[in-house]
Amino acid sequence: MAHAHLDAAAGAPLHPAAREVLDAALARGYADPRALHGLGRDARLLLDNAREAVADALAVRRDEVWFTGPLDAVQRGLLGLAEARLHRGARLVVPSVEHAHVRHAARWWADRHGGQVHEVGVDSWGRAYDGDLVESAIGGDVAAVACQLANHEVGTIQPAGQVELPDGVPLFVDGSASLGMIDLPETGWSAAAGHATSWGGPGSVGVLVVRRGTRWSNPFPGDPEPQDFGGALPDVAGSLAAAAALQATLAERAEVDGRRRRLVDRIREVAAALPDTEVVGDPVERLPHLVTFSCLYLSGEALVRELDRAGFGVASGSACTASTLEPSHVLAAMGALTHGNVRISLGRDVTEQQVEALLAVLPEIVGRLRSEVGL
């Protein structure tokens, strides 16, 4: 059997719909869409079509959608809200399980303005306490609150749609790991970000949504209002491919995610039966394609290495800094084991055969590695 890529959360092949559109768009959408000549107007039409498609898919207005880089979407989304409320204070409220991109951006902005970042705790499943989010936003000095749509490491769905913040405090929703699988809340948020890879689009494209009427101010040099790609030359072809992938993903979501959820349930069952192994994250209210478990007495690096040798690509360490294999801040915040952890995330094309092949070798690999360390 060919090598099975079971780390789709970190990167996956383009959706066929995106690949088809990308090839065609590269031939037409290479000009600057801000230019007044014919090729520029043609590129602008393609970009506007992409914006319309994404807005329709996310159930927002077309003038609320902006294309940019994935990291830039997160940073501008959160910090733009904070910048617009700097006159009220420089305190940011962030759950302790937010992605490193959110946490780093919040700390950078707070340090720059003499503020602070208040981290809200989570329960044993990794879900932020919505009451704590609301209570932490009281006081008049809060610039913005962040709450991800679902956790990128353990899959637990967060209470982003349940938070009613006081005194006009804006909420930023990071959907980088989940848009395409989970819808944005209908109300209660001011800005959101998405990463096209979560729905099979190009890895270079992110989506920033700023709700109409929201006070938002550019936290970086440049024009004060939102712009595609921060005012740089827009990636028209990539944006159009991202839009096509999102539409296709939503059309097939019920079938694809239903199948992936069943396969993840199977992985959770086998992993939970392994001695001294903890499966983390909410077993029900979770992303359909992702599961994380930790094996006591083992290193995540060793598990990743041996599973790779057996033909299975998985992740370990902190999911947002996997190359360093640092202990996961998400698992630490949950009070779970921070070593010997494996994150498996299934792409849209994963097969039952691949999953069963993984589960056939997993107990043997765990047992062998433990015997090698004298257990």
String of DSSP letters for 172-185: EEE-TTTBTTBPPP
Tens-digit pLDDT profile for residues 25-46: 998 889 999 999 999 999 999 9
| 3-class SS of residue 62 | helix
16-247 CATH pick, 3.30.1360.170, 3.40.50.620, 3.40.640.10, 2.60.120.10: 3.40.640.10
Please report the pLDDT score of residue 317 as a whole number.
64
Distance CA 305, CA 312 (A): 9
Q: 4-11+253-372 with 16-247: one CATH topology?
A: no
Domain boundaries, the chain: 4-11+253-372, 16-247
Q: Tens digits of per-residue pLDDT, 156-177?
A: 999 998 889 988 999 999 999 9
CATH label, 4-11+253-372, candidates 3.90.1150.10, 3.40.50.150, 2.40.10.10, 3.40.50.720: 3.90.1150.10
Predicted confidence at residue 267, as pLDDT, reads: 98
pTM reported for the whole predicted model: 0.94
184-202: per-residue pLDDT in tens? 999 999 999 999 999 999 9
Query: If pLDDT is split at 50, 70 and 90, which confidence band does 325 have?
Result: low
Which residue matches tokens 């609301």? Answer: 134
pLDDT at 225: 87
Which amino acid is present at 210? V
**Mean pLDDT across 337-364:** 95
Active site residues: 320
Sign of CA dihedral 4, 8, 10, 14: positive
- From residue 319, give the alpha-carbon distance in Å to each of 52, 98, 147, 193, 311: 32, 11, 18, 18, 20
Contact by Cβ (8 Å): 147, 160: yes
What is the chain's mean pLDDT, rounded? 94
